[in-house]
Structure 1
């Protein structure tokens, strides 16, 4: 497993060792010891989530406060553009974002730490997204920043007219959001 820090160094793309042969492939989707060794991060994951979405669905930019969640995001089938936004008020990278393409073909994962908002847009016909979280889902703690906030200027790839889920439509601009 290798971990590559992105422009926001707390956010990483994780690439597992994939073993291919005539039957297909095999890889460990998660191994706590290897994850800690590759990333320097030791976290207990308490919940796994699975979503299936169709082309153009845009989910985000979500976070929980209190009860923040770190997320380890992967794609089983299809392709997404995954985004993390630093919403830690005292961070030198406050309000900046990074993105990476995750797919069932490249087997990449993205680590989105606590203190970051998270979202993705589906680039394939459908995508099955799995993510491990470091805290349980608390509906009363959920917050959302507008996916199209001009101050963030996230360069979402164009999958056509985005299909925005109901909770994402309630997002507020970063300037009005509760922040870490």
Structure 2
């Protein structure tokens, strides 16, 4: 919709500059066309750079955490890079065969030791339009429900250990 306003402003500006005779009416129509064009460009730039008209929505999911290795109380991780960049392998269901893993490029991971319960808390953040008018105005640029980040928080009971994996776990 904002593109339509941009084209309408440009056509209004051009037509009023060419076809309307000099006078107060020409000044008004040229100003309206110019303001519509420049305002549309500014709003489009704000939308692309600062997500104007959008808000961040968080969805929290909590699941019980079971050991990554059967028979032990262990949370596995794989070191990537030189700092605290790690991939954690976890299971939220004891019958789960394939371990789920975190993605350090999309969010943060926090490990809380000596917690009361074993659980994993996953917070997924997405951008959504503030209201229907903003969605109609900017829907051609930034999609609704755009992924922002996914943060993990592992709560471990006393006695649980972190263990590094030497080979890539599937």
Which TM bucket (shorter chain)?
A: under 0.3
TM-score (norm 1): 0.21
**TM-score, length-normalised on structure 2?**
0.22
* Greater strand content: 1
More helix by share: 2
Structure with greater Cα Rg: 2
